[in-house]
Amino acid sequence: MHHVAPARFVLRPARTYPRVTMPSHDVRRVTRLVPIVIALALPLLAHPLRAQSFAAGLGAATYADTGTSTDVEGFKQWGGDAYVEILLETSTSFVTVVQGRYSRFRLPGTQPGAPELQVNAGLARVSYRWRETWFQAGFFGGGGVFGVSPRRPAADQVAVDVNEMAAGATFGVETLFRLTGRIDLRLEFGGDYIATTAIHRPLFIGGNVSYRF
């Protein structure tokens, strides 16, 4: 005769998972960007648009950070960018441009003696330009995601910043000069708002060369 061992049940604590939350101050910062996006999108909805052409370009810029205790009095940091865009014609004298841009640049650390910060940004921008025969001028605005990470500290530096991914906004003015039928030179002056723990508000002056398809 075989005996069957009684079944044993072992109670284990329920598995828990970390909660992913966003601090309230980060929510407020992102919320401030919503009116900017709406304001930029309204003119697109108010006028009939048709695709005119596409363009791609490369450029460089110099930066000065105005948002931390190590404010740079001159434009001493450098960066580069690449972009693609579509030009939408609204009238014979007015052009709307929707652009996707990748930017990479450096900023000073948030405290004196801290290593520089490396910034990588993916941005969506909308430009409104007044068009003449050989040049265009206007303003731009947009937003996106900024990745901010400190560089390796030197022997005499102290690391105080951490890797962060944050929402942000960009805005400014631009001028375009037509060099040939397909190539143009652009000059920009603007600023970014980066909603990291230590807010960064860099200003930039840049130049770009674009090719129209």
> In terms of Cα–Cα distance, which of 114, 102, 181 is closest to 149?
114
Mean pLDDT, residues 152-176 taken together: 90
Quick one: CA torsion of 30, 174, 46, 99, rounded to 10 degrees? -60
∠ at Cα 79 (72, 147), nearest 5°?
90
Quickly tell me which residue has 């960007």 as its tokens.
33
Quickly tell me which residue has 């960018």 as its tokens.
81
pLDDT at 33 > cutoff 60: no
Please give the Cα distance from 191 to 92 (Å, whole number): 29
pLDDT at 157: 81
Lowest-confidence pick of 41-45, 72-76, 183-187: 41-45
pLDDT tens readout for residues 118-148: 999 999 999 999 988 889 999 999 999 999 9
pLDDT at 174: 97
pLDDT at 19 > cutoff 50: no
Cβ neighbours around 131 below 10 Å, total: 19
Mean pLDDT, residues 158-187 taken together: 92
- Domains, the chain: 24-212 (2.40.160.20)
More confident site: 26 or 197: 197
pLDDT at 24 > cutoff 50: no
